Structure 1
Amino acid sequence: MRRAVVNRVLLGAVGVLLLGVGALVLAGGLNLYRHLGVQPPSRWPLVSPDRPLLSERSRMRWVARDWWWPAVIGGLSVLVVGMAWWLVAQLRRTGLSSIAVPTPGAGGLRLRVTARALEDALERGTAVLPEVERAGVRLVRAPRHPRLRGAVRLTPGGDPVGLVEHFEDGPRADARASLGLAELPAELRIRVLQAAPVEHRHRRHRRRRRHPRVI
Structure 2
Amino acid sequence: MLRTVNRVLTALIGLVLLALGLAVLFAAAGLPRRWDLSMPSGWPWTRPGDVVLTDADRTRWTGEGWWWPVVIAALAVLALLSLWWLLAQLRRHRLGEVLVDSGDGEGARLRGGALEDVVEAEAEAQPGVDRARVTLTGRRRSPRARVGLVLAPHAQPGPVAHRLRGEALHHAATSAGLDALPAEVRMRAARHRAERVS
Which bracket does the TM-score occupy, shorter chain normalised?
Answer: 0.5 to 0.7
Displaced runs of 4+ in structure 1, greater than 4 A?
177-181
Report if the CA contact (8 A) 2:170-2:181 is conserved. Answer: no
Could you tell me which runs of 5 or more consecutive residues in structure 2 were left unpaired when the two chains were aligned. 97-111, 129-133, 148-157, 185-198
Report the Cα offset of residue 33 of structure 1.
1.0
What residue number does 2:153 align with? none
Task: Output the aligned Cα RMSD.
Answer: 3.8
SS in structure 1 at match of 2:7:
helix
Report the Cα offset of residue 166 of structure 1.
7.0
Report the Cα offset of residue 176 of structure 1.
2.8
Q: Tell me if 1:148 matches 2:145.
A: yes
Range with greater deviation from structure 2 (72-81 or 32-41): 32-41
What residue number does 2:62 align with? 63
Report the Cα offset of residue 39 of structure 1.
1.9
The structure showing larger relative contact order (alpha-carbon pairs under 8 Å, at least 6 residues apart) is 2
Q: Tell me if 1:73 matches 2:95.
A: no
Report the Cα offset of residue 181 of structure 1.
6.2
Distance 1:13 1:173, change over 3 A: farther
- Count of paired positions: 148
Instruction: Report the residue type matching 2:61 in the other structure.
Output: W
Report the Cα offset of residue 146 of structure 1.
3.6
Report the Cα offset of residue 180 of structure 1.
8.7
Report the Cα offset of residue 5 of structure 1.
2.7
Report if the CA contact (8 A) 1:100-1:179 is conserved. Answer: no
In the aligned structure 1, how far is the partner of 2:72 from the partner of 2:137?
Answer: 39
What residue number does 1:128 align with? none
Could you tell me which runs of 5 or more consecutive residues in structure 1 were left unpaired when the two chains were aligned. 102-111, 126-136, 151-162, 189-215
- TM-score w.r.t. length of structure 2: 0.59
**Sequence identity, in percent?**
35
What residue number does 2:41 align with? 42
Q: Tell me if 1:99 matches 2:113.
A: yes
Report if the CA contact (8 A) 2:146-2:183 is conserved. Answer: yes
What residue number does 2:164 align with? 171
